Structure 1
Amino acid sequence: MEKVESFELDHRVVKAPYIRKCCLLQGENGDKVSKFDLRFLQPNKEAFGTAAMHGLEHLLAHQLRKEINGIIDLSPMGCRTGFYLTIWGDIESSAIKNSLEKSLKDILEVNEIPAANEIQCGNYRDLSLFGAKEYAKLVLIQGFSLIS
């Protein structure tokens, strides 16, 4: 049985906020996919409120695509401390850091959450623009470190 990469990380020793390249996967035809751990909050100490995290997920999914080509997915972590970002290609963490920080700064200027309606979202009533912006401010002040 293949190991789950995130379960191999000692969550007691990491210091959030950080960006960590979890893995580089290579497909049978040579295609490469990079997966990143975008950790906003300290594991086992803090957790996003669901409305704020859901709002930030929508906002980042929208804003990051303006900055980075080839995004496959941005997914919230079940522990509610951050997000996974999956992208085509072998991408360096430093490029993600710059794009993430720019996206978070841009989020501070928006007035609405994209796709916040019953047609485009399965739980559109559970979104917080205010909460999303507060977490964006927090991590921009703290700054993301790069973990290998």
Structure 2
Amino acid sequence: MGEVELAEVESFSLDHTRVRAPYVRLIGVEHGPKGDAISNYDIRLVQPNEAEIPTGGLHTIEHTLAALLRTRFDGLIDISPFGCRTGFHLIAWGEPEPAEVAAAIKSSLEDLAHRVAWEDVPGTDAVSCGNYRDHSLFSAKEWAKAVLDRGISLDAFDRSRIA
């Protein structure tokens, strides 16, 4: 083993062979020195090690969700894609309930799948995006529809649809 000290990362101790996507899972809540709470959610859209969203579609989902989610609940800090391309980390101020997060994700994906047009997608030019050529609204819509067809669970290990 190497000489480098590494911190344990919760996401890497999750058994990715047992989870059943799509789901919303609260990873944890951190409290700052003044008592502020920041919640970290696992927004898993596709089954790990069985599928991955192509980068163009994932990039467009990321940009669109970043804008849509901010209209659906207060306190969103960031939504960032996992490197494995199976979902996102959602970081929010406070402690929003998982059901509230799932409902916001579902309604945002419904808009993406059925109402969003290319001109609605933010950050698709060289000025506003670091890789503006890697977007696909078609792919984003198809993946959003696939997630909605499966439903979103609040239990990472059970496919009980709630949203």
Task: Confirm or deny a common fold (TM above 0.5).
Answer: yes
Structure-2 separation of matches of 1:107 and 1:45: 23
Shift of 1:16: 0.6
Shift of 1:114: 1.2
Shift of 1:61: 0.5
Shift of 1:2: 3.5
Aligned-residue CA RMSD (Å): 1.0
1:126 maps onto 2:131 in alignment: no
Cα displacement string for residues 1-23 of structure 1 (whole angstroms, at most 9, x for unaligned residues): 54101011000100011110000
Structure-2 separation of matches of 1:50 and 1:84: 16
Structure-2 separation of matches of 1:99 and 1:16: 17
Shift of 1:48: 0.8
Counterpart amino acid of residue 87 in structure 1: A
1:83 maps onto 2:91 in alignment: no
SS of 1:21's partner is strand
Contact 1:21 1:147 in 2 (8 A): no
SS of 1:72's partner is strand
Structure-2 separation of matches of 1:40 and 1:67: 19
Identity %: 46
Structure-1 separation of matches of 2:75 and 2:61: 20
1:110 maps onto 2:116 in alignment: yes
Corresponding residue of 2:105: 100
SS of 2:41's partner is strand
Which of 126, 144, 148 pairs up with 1:136? 144
Q: Which runs of 5+ in 2 are unaligned?
A: 1-5, 157-163
Within a 5 Å distance, the mapping from 1:1-148 to structure 2 comes to 2-108=7-113, 109-112=115-118, 113-147=121-155
Structure-1 separation of matches of 2:131 and 2:108: 23
Q: Which runs of 5+ in 1 are unaligned?
A: none
Structure-2 separation of matches of 1:47 and 1:2: 27
Shift of 1:92: 1.1
What count of residue pairs does the alignment treat as equivalent?
A: 148
Structure-2 separation of matches of 1:147 and 1:28: 31
Q: TM-score, normalised by structure 1?
A: 0.97
